[in-house]
């Protein structure tokens, strides 16, 4: 298991550093929105990588389950992820 | 035999569909929405039966609750079909198999098309189709739809599956964990019982109404053997219904409750849920409906179930992928990654986008302009030729005028749209299919959102400067009905090519030299301001929701095939022409009649002139004379005719005076500027109105939108007139 013995941080997807693999912890927000996230493969325990951020508060590009998705920052605020601080 | 094509967006359903059916297609509109599906036929040379193929919109799940995503779900639930082809993208099975499992839970009549195996191979991904087929219990056929590879085998399997009774490999398709099974199994048993009761009841009513057409959905051997059950949940697999009930699917719950046994099952589902949620009272629906706290708890539990069920599916998929997919790590970046490094670059992405769009519009204008000229010259020539023929036959003058200025002008008005439309739609399809449009939406989403619009609407808005009609059709990429409606409501404020042309001529007449450029700029800024203002106001008042979440996939880049571009382009152009021609022809005939009658009268005594004089009091507020008002009224038919109408009314050409010259003599530049603003903003043209009705699906919205257009145009004109009068 990842993270055992390491320091684990939980943060919003919006604040994840680019290129770091994280694990989805939880989803909040409107049920319809969560339903949509689930069908796109963003479920608790899935691995997610933030690929890039669009400038000026634009959407984020993430990679999850082998596909790339774009998501607004406001919506990404509803997704909590955790990363192990491995050196 | 009827076969449904289902899959995630962009996996190649339409490519497969086009490859299989060729030209034998028709577009069917789903009632009530603008989303449509296409039906096509596979002809066979052998004795085999013809296959009817239905290309459905891409979807990520069958649980999709949003109104606009329901077309596929509704088709699979309520329309008759014999088998489903689930198209999956071999290079991203982890996500694609989710939908495949959902379909398998609904019906075992499935053939999986493992598409894009070429892309997968390039990415070092090998999928063992036989192994996958064994695990899923349905045929899995590797295909490359864009090259036609694997299609024959696919069709052969479909024929075999469609006619047979198919037994699913596992009753529960997905190995759900024990704690879910404890809830699901009794529920499914109760539902099976309810289905039997329902079938018995339906058999009774069917006998009573012997010969009545049965209208059930789904594969024929579902529910009672030998017949389709016309309504109720009995036509679905009990396992699937059990899963839906646990996730609180209201629609399915309603269907289940039509028989008493079903009500018992629905209550069982509710109490299972209550129990899991830790509510330990014996619940009736009423108790839940009355107590908001309980309702919230139950809802939360439905969602917990939903997550557990999704989790079990994804876990199952992980195992399938482990067993059936081999991945070689790639050293180099994929083409998509390399392209995106530039096209989605925080800085370079924007100039790149500007370049792409500029090229797109330049092509549609520059290439279509000479074609449009040929078309209208050709029509004029034909008209003259017809007139000469009629004169030779001794036809009365009014008949000649009717044919030339009425019928041929009308046909010309319809056909002059066609070259621009064709090229526009081809380019639109190219940008869409190649995968670039999704990127562009992401790049501009932030700006668009600040005025209440959705990023996906950007291309539509920009393209409205070419022609409003296809621009409205291009709003269809947005899934949310309100986002689409809003875009359609503001598009008419954007001056199209035809309006820009008239504006350019008049500006040049009144503001020669550099001033003209500033005036044009000012006009365009006014239009942009009105678009932004109107959009914000609509959002604040009648459409009070935020734009739908932008959750879009950024697919790998593809080079689209010619066929993939040609067929949808043809569909769209044809749709336009077939819808519009009647309206435009009648409108042109009416215009002709108004200016031609009473017979022999000079223009300023025609019915048109009388109409103009009727409107003159309104015009006086602005300083417009009756001829300008007439041009506004007739401009409604098609903006292309404005200049020629004005020409006739002002008697241009008669004594060598040109229209710009005559116009410049008849009013001040300030009046002209006001006129231009009004002209730019009021109802664009009849074709736009019809397209708007088509996109919004409602005459009410169309009428309201047009009323706002006219209102804004004339009140802004009034304000401007006052302001200019004060300062000028
Ligand atoms: N390399 C490759 N490209 C393909 C294949 N099949 C389809 N494509 C391309 O993938 C793109 C999308 O294909 P479509 O057929 O429009 O996808 P769709 O599933 O109909 O998409 P939606 O209608 O949006 O749900 C097009 O550019 C196709 O040319 C394939 O097997 N291999
Ligand atoms: Mg398609």
Instruction: Mark which of B267, B294, B319 sits at the end of a domain.
Output: B319
* Judgement on whether residues B13 and B135 belong to the same structural domain of the protein: yes
Of B84 and A39, which is predicted with more confidence? B84
- Inside any domain, residue B575: no
pLDDT at position B81 is 92
Distance from chain centroid for Cα B215: 28
Interface mutation target, options A25, A27, A59, A78, chain B, most CBs of B under 10 Å: A59
Supply the angle between the helices B562-596 and B13-21 in degrees, to the nearest 10. Answer: 80
Q: Which of A28-37, B222-231, B625-634, B718-727 has the lowest mean pLDDT?
A: B222-231
Task: Measure the CA–CA gap between B120 and B8, rounded to whole angstroms.
Answer: 16
- Inside any domain, residue B35: yes
* Judgement on whether residues B615 and B690 belong to the same structural domain of the protein: yes
Chain mean pLDDT for chain A: 87
- Inside any domain, residue B68: yes
**Is the pLDDT reported for residue A52 higher than 70?**
yes
pLDDT at position B31 is 38
Residues of chain A with C-beta less than 8 angstroms from the C-beta of B311: 43-45
pLDDT at position B456 is 86
* Residue B248 φ/ψ region, left for φ over 0, alpha for ψ in the -120 to 50 degree band, beta for the rest: left
Among the partner-chain residues A38, A64, A72, the one whose CB lies closest to the CB of B445 is A72
- Inside any domain, residue B444: no
- Inside any domain, residue B510: no
Residue of A nearest to B314 (CA): A41
Binding site residues of B for Mg(2+), as ranges?
Answer: 18-19, 21-22
A8-79 CATH: 2.30.30.90
**Is the pLDDT reported for residue B26 higher than 70?**
no
With 0-12 / 13-18 / 19 or more C-beta atoms within 10 angstroms meaning exposed / middle / buried, residue B546 is middle
**Is the pLDDT reported for residue B53 higher than 70?**
yes
Of B506 and B217, which is predicted with more confidence? B506
**Is the pLDDT reported for residue B35 higher than 80?**
no
- Most confident of the ranges A7-11, B143-147, B290-294, B520-524: B143-147
Name the domain count of chain B. Answer: 3
- Inside any domain, residue B25: yes
Mean pLDDT throughout A11-36? 90
* Judgement on whether residues B48 and B83 belong to the same structural domain of the protein: yes
* Judgement on whether residues B182 and B147 belong to the same structural domain of the protein: no
Among the partner-chain residues A33, A44, A58, the one whose CB lies closest to the CB of B446 is A58
Our answer on whether the CB atom of B102 is closer than 6 Å to any ligand 1 atom is: no
Mean pLDDT throughout B613-617? 86
ipTM: 0.90
* Judgement on whether residues B105 and B188 belong to the same structural domain of the protein: no
Parallel, antiparallel or unpaired: strands B36-42 and B83-89: unpaired
pLDDT at position B670 is 87
pLDDT at position B488 is 94
Contact between B112 and B138 (Cβ < 8 Å) = yes
* Judgement on whether residues B293 and B150 belong to the same structural domain of the protein: no
With 0-12 / 13-18 / 19 or more C-beta atoms within 10 angstroms meaning exposed / middle / buried, residue B641 is buried
Q: What is the pTM of this model?
A: 0.81
Instruction: Mark which of B123, B139, B168 sits at the end of a domain.
Output: B168
pLDDT at position B225 is 33
CA-nearest of B538, B53, B571, B102 to B313 is B102
* Judgement on whether residues B194 and B110 belong to the same structural domain of the protein: no
* Judgement on whether residues B235 and B187 belong to the same structural domain of the protein: yes
Task: Measure the CA–CA gap between B6 and B98, rounded to whole angstroms.
Answer: 12
Q: Residue B126: beta bridge partners?
A: B326
Token pair recorded at residue B120: 């997968």
Chain mean pLDDT for chain B: 83
Q: Residue B125's domain spans which residues?
A: 2-168
**Is the pLDDT reported for residue B221 higher than 50?**
no
pLDDT at position A8 is 86
Task: Measure the CA–CA gap between B269 and B190, rounded to whole angstroms.
Answer: 10
CB contact under 8 Å between A54 and B346, yes or no, is: yes
- Inside any domain, residue B113: yes
CA-nearest of A76, A81, A47 to A59 is A76
Mean pLDDT throughout B237-242? 91
Instruction: Mark which of B265, B296, B319 sits at the end of a domain.
Output: B319
**Is the pLDDT reported for residue B226 higher than 50?**
no
Summarised one tens digit per residue, pLDDT across range B183-198 is 899 889 888 888 887 7
- Most confident of the ranges A19-28, B210-219, B681-690: A19-28
Summarised one tens digit per residue, pLDDT across range B89-120 is 999 999 999 999 999 999 999 999 999 999 99
* Judgement on whether residues B9 and B155 belong to the same structural domain of the protein: yes
The percentage of residues in chain B with a pLDDT greater than 90, rounded to a whole number, is 27
- Inside any domain, residue B552: no
CA-nearest of B323, B329, B335, B318 to B119 is B335
Contact between B111 and B83 (Cβ < 8 Å) = yes
* Judgement on whether residues B118 and B16 belong to the same structural domain of the protein: yes
Summarised one tens digit per residue, pLDDT across range B427-452 is 888 888 888 988 998 999 998 888 88
CA torsion B4-B7-B11-B14 (nearest 10°) is: 30
* Judgement on whether residues B164 and B186 belong to the same structural domain of the protein: no
Task: Measure the CA–CA gap between B501 and B507, rounded to whole angstroms.
Answer: 10
Task: Measure the CA–CA gap between B177 and B126, rounded to whole angstroms.
Answer: 29
Summarised one tens digit per residue, pLDDT across range B356-415 is 988 887 887 778 778 877 887 888 888 888 888 888 888 888 888 888 777 787 777 677
* Judgement on whether residues B17 and B98 belong to the same structural domain of the protein: yes
């Amino acid at each position: 298991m990842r993270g055992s013995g390491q320091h684990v941080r939980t943060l919003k997807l919006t604040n994840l550093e680019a290129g770091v693999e994280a694990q989805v912890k939880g989803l909040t927000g409107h049920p319809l929105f969560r339903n949509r996230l689930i069908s796109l493969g963003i479920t608790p325990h899935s691995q997610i990588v933030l690929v890039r951020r669009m400038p000026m508060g634009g959407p984020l590009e993430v990679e999850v389950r082998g596909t790339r998705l774009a998501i607004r920052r406001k919506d990404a605020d509803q997704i909590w992820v955790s990363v192990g601080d491995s050196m | 035999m009827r076969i449904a094509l289902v899959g995630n967006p962009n996996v190649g359903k339409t490519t497969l569909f086009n490859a299989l059916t060729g030209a034998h297609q028709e577009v069917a509109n789903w009632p009530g929405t603008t989303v449509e599906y296409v039906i096509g036929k596979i002809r066979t040379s052998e004795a085999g039966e013809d296959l009817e193929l239905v290309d459905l919109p891409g979807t990520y799940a069958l649980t999709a609750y949003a109104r606009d995503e329901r077309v596929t779900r509704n088709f699979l639930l309520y329309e008759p079909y014999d088998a489903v082809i689930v198209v999956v993208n071999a290079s991203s099975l982890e996500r694609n198999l989710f939908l495949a499992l959902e379909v398998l839970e609904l019906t075992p009549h499935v053939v999986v098309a493992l598409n894009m195996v070429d892309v997968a191979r390039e990415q070092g991904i090998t999928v063992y189709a036989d192994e996958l087929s064994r695990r899923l219990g349905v045929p899995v056929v590797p295909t490359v739809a864009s090259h036609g590879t694997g299609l024959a085998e696919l069709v052969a399997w479909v024929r075999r599956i469609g006619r047979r009774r198919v037994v699913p490999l596992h009753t529960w398709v997905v190995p759900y964990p024990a704690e879910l099974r404890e809830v699901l199994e009794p529920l499914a048993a109760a539902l099976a019982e309810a289905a039997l009761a329902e079938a018995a009841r339906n058999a009774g009513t069917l006998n009573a109404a012997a010969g009545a057409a049965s209208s059930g959905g789904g594969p024929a051997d579902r529910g009672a053997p030998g017949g389709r059950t016309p309504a109720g949940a009995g036509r679905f697999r009990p396992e699937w219904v059990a899963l839906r009930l646990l996730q609180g699917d209201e629609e399915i719950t309603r269907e289940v409750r039509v028989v008493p046994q079903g009500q018992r099952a629905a209550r069982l589902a509710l109490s299972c849920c209550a129990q899991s949620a830790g509510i330990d009272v014996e619940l009736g629906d009423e108790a839940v409906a009355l107590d908001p706290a309980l309702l919230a708890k139950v809802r939360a539990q439905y969602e917990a179930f939903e997550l557990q069920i999704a989790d079990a599916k994804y876990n199952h998929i992980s195992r399938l992928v482990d067993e059936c997919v081999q991945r070689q790590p790639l050293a180099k970046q994929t083409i998509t990654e390399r392209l995106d490094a530039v096209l989605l670059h925080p800085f370079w992405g924007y100039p790149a986008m500007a370049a792409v769009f500029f090229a797109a519009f330049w092509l549609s204008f520059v290439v279509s302009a000479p074609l449009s000229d040929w078309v209208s010259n050709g029509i004029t020539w034909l008209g003259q030729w017809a007139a000469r023929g009629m004169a030779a036959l001794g036809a009365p003058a009014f008949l000649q005028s009717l044919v030339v200025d009425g019928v041929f002008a009308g046909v010309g008005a319809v056909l002059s749209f066609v070259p621009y439309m064709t090229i526009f739609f081809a380019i639109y399809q190219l940008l869409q299919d190649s995968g670039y449009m999704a990127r562009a939406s992401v790049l501009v989403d932030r700006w668009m959102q600040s005025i209440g619009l959705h990023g996906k609407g950007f291309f539509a808005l920009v393209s409205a400067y070419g022609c409003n009609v296809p621009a409205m059709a291009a709003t269809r990429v947005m899934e949310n009905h309100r986002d689409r409606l809003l875009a359609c409501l503001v598009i008419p404020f954007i001056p199209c090519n035809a309006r820009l042309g008239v504006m350019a001529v008049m500006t040049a007449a009144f503001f020669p030299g550099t001033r003209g450029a500033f005036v044009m700029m000012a006009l365009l800024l006014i239009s942009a301001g009105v678009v932004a203002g109107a959009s914000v106001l609509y959002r604040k008042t009648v459409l009070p929701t935020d734009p739908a979440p932008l959750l879009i996939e950024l697919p790998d880049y593809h080079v689209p095939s010619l066929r993939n571009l040609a067929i949808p382009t043809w569909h769209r152009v044809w749709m336009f022409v077939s819808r519009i021609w009647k309206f435009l022809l009648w409108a042109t005939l009416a215009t002709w009649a108004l200016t031609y009658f009473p017979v022999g009268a000079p223009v300023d005594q025609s019915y048109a002139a009388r109409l103009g004089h009727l409107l003159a009091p309104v015009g006086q507020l602005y300083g417009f004379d009756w001829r300008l008002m007439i041009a506004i009224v007739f401009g409604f038919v098609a903006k292309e005719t404005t200049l020629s109408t004005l020409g006739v009314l002002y008697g241009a050409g008669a004594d060598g005076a040109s229209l710009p010259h005559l116009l410049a003599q008849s009013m001040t530049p300030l009046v002209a500027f006001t006129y231009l603003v009004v002209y730019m903003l009021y109802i664009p043209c009849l074709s736009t109105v019809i397209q708007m009705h088509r996109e919004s699906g409602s005459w009410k919205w169309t009428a309201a939108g047009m009323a706002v257009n006219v209102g804004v145009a004339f009140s802004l004109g009034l304000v401007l007139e006052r302001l200019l009068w004060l300062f000028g």
